[in-house]
Structure 1
């Protein structure tokens, strides 16, 4: 009897988690036929049907559910082995995969990334820019910068700073619009709430409705600069932008913590340890701007 193919298990897990061949293939960046072929291969190896196929997709069977629990344990054992081997690596070379939001990388950290790569030319930085929480345990990333108040228990790290927000608009927009009752001013948002969501009601302008909805901080920034409306932005974005002004009363308030996180098995890896220390110092060098204490002087 042939040995179990780990790739078959990996694709089975992906299809179980994402619910469709299309979603699983997009996540793993392979073709639909690759997913289907490996799942069929695992079914043939086990002599059991793991999914019921229908016109609406794949539904896991009772046998599939049983196999899923075992497969997840196999996956965790494989990943733990990989992390432990990588964690013993003391060379200042190799790849570091770091995940964060777009605004942190473009408006705060890019000069520091350049400096790091200059100091350590044998280390390659791979920046994964996303607002999704990548799974560090599965090595989708080695280091994560996350806006959170409750980091996962299976990760280690430190709280670096508190991210402060204020409300911003272009100077021209403030001249054209009276923000009092009956104003023509509008909010720019990051979520698809309509009308007057709760977070708007807690501001000094609860009567202003939403108009623009952008899930990227950089898009929110550009929309605000272009005069679409007023927007609640991190101070490190808004205060650094000459085209924007804080909307009266101009106060900054803490919104969430910024954590630097990695997996416990990776903490002894030399390049991860050096990069984490470098990144911590880089972010703390911008503390005044991040916490809204560095006033505009344009």
Structure 2
């Protein structure tokens, strides 16, 4: 049986193993189990009569024929994705599904009320929210729309700056009852090497800060701060809604992260995508005071006198 008669699913499986270098990595990417990948890739090689991978202790390494097939299949995948984008972009019906990707911070702390309001206005459009700190590839249709911090440079994407997240120092009433809440000497919930710009500025502003807990998740930092584990640098739009948190102090310098709403250029005129982009842009613009830390506190914790 020659390569032309192979099922596209076999080629996708082959490409996943080639990219991941392991069966387990390919299984995670495809949402199937390890044994299924092993069985199908072995059967695929047998049908072709060609060994595509060398099985090494540290993973699967492409043979010369495998490398040639990888390049060909990758080009086919790109062409299929491009064709799907163009076809989808011609769909002018305000219905169907929109796949949205965002980090946990935005998916939990910012988007939910706006997604609910959008669904109320556009009941024929279904939403799928993909929560991931990794950057999903919009060109390969891993998602249709992304709400991201920062504007990635990618020629095929179009985007709008839809807001700016301001940050401040927050603490729980419980923590402030047992210590002064001094940013220079107090316990902190930090971010380690993650959230680079924020971490670097915190270390520069308060070089004596003592990080008793580190996390790569803003959402986890909110929970830890509410539990009284330490001070935390948090987005005002999220922390100001928490009754258990007190805004202790502003940052010594202006600091904020731009929010960008992105989609692929071939999708932006699709009716459901255009409706979503316009709706979320307007909703976040209406929340500019909250996002930038100027809105009145919604929680009962208040603002500490230290902020002034």
- By the TM > 0.5 criterion, same fold? yes
RMSD between superposed Cα atoms in Å: 2.3
Query: 1:233-263 CA distances to partner (integer Å, 9 max, x unpaired)?
Result: 1111122223222333566733321110011
Find the aligned partners of 2:46 and 2:26 in 1 and give their Cα distance: 20
Deviation at 1:275, TM superposition (A): 0.8
Change (3 A) 1:134 1:249: closer
Change (3 A) 1:268 1:38: farther
Query: 1:57-78 CA distances to partner (integer Å, 9 max, x unpaired)?
Result: 2112222222211111010001
Matches within 5 A, 1:35-74: 35-74=37-76
Q: Which residue of 1 is the match for residue 16 of structure 2?
A: 14
- Contact 2:169–2:250, Cα closer than 8 Å, also in 1: no
Query: 1:182-232 CA distances to partner (integer Å, 9 max, x unpaired)?
Result: 94x211123368xxx7443212x3212211122222211011011100111
TM-score, normalised to structure 2, is: 0.87
Find the aligned partners of 1:116 and 1:180 in 2 and give their Cα distance: 42
- Contact 1:84–1:266, Cα closer than 8 Å, also in 2: yes
Change (3 A) 1:110 1:179: closer
Matches within 5 A, 1:143-158: 143-158=145-160
Q: Which residue of 1 is the match for residue 263 of structure 2?
A: 262
Q: Which residue of 2 is the match for residue 215 of structure 1?
A: 216
- Contact 1:235–1:252, Cα closer than 8 Å, also in 2: no
Matches within 5 A, 1:116-127: 116-127=118-129
Find the aligned partners of 2:94 and 2:145 in 1 and give their Cα distance: 16
State yes or no: 1:228 paired with 2:229.
yes
- Contact 1:12–1:38, Cα closer than 8 Å, also in 2: no
- Contact 1:224–1:230, Cα closer than 8 Å, also in 2: yes
Query: 1:94-118 CA distances to partner (integer Å, 9 max, x unpaired)?
Result: 1111111223233333222112112
Find the aligned partners of 2:155 and 2:294 in 1 and give their Cα distance: 32
Query: 1:137-168 CA distances to partner (integer Å, 9 max, x unpaired)?
Result: 12111100011143423211111122211111
Matches within 5 A, 1:37-186: 37-179=39-181, 183=185, 185-186=186-187
Other structure's SS at 2:142 match: coil
Q: Where does structure 2 lack aligned partners over 5 or more consecutive residues?
A: 303-308
- Contact 1:22–1:32, Cα closer than 8 Å, also in 2: yes
Matches within 5 A, 1:20-39: 20-39=22-41
TM-score, normalised to structure 1, is: 0.89
Q: Which residue of 1 is the match for residue 287 of structure 2?
A: 286
Aligned length: 293
- Contact 2:169–2:251, Cα closer than 8 Å, also in 1: yes
Deviation at 1:271, TM superposition (A): 0.5
Find the aligned partners of 2:248 and 2:183 in 1 and give their Cα distance: 15
Find the aligned partners of 2:132 and 2:152 in 1 and give their Cα distance: 19
Q: Where does structure 1 lack aligned partners over 5 or more consecutive residues?
A: none
Deviation at 1:55, TM superposition (A): 3.6
More off after superposition, 43-52 vs 209-218: 43-52
Runs of 4+ in structure 1 over 6 Å off = none
More off after superposition, 245-254 vs 279-288: 245-254
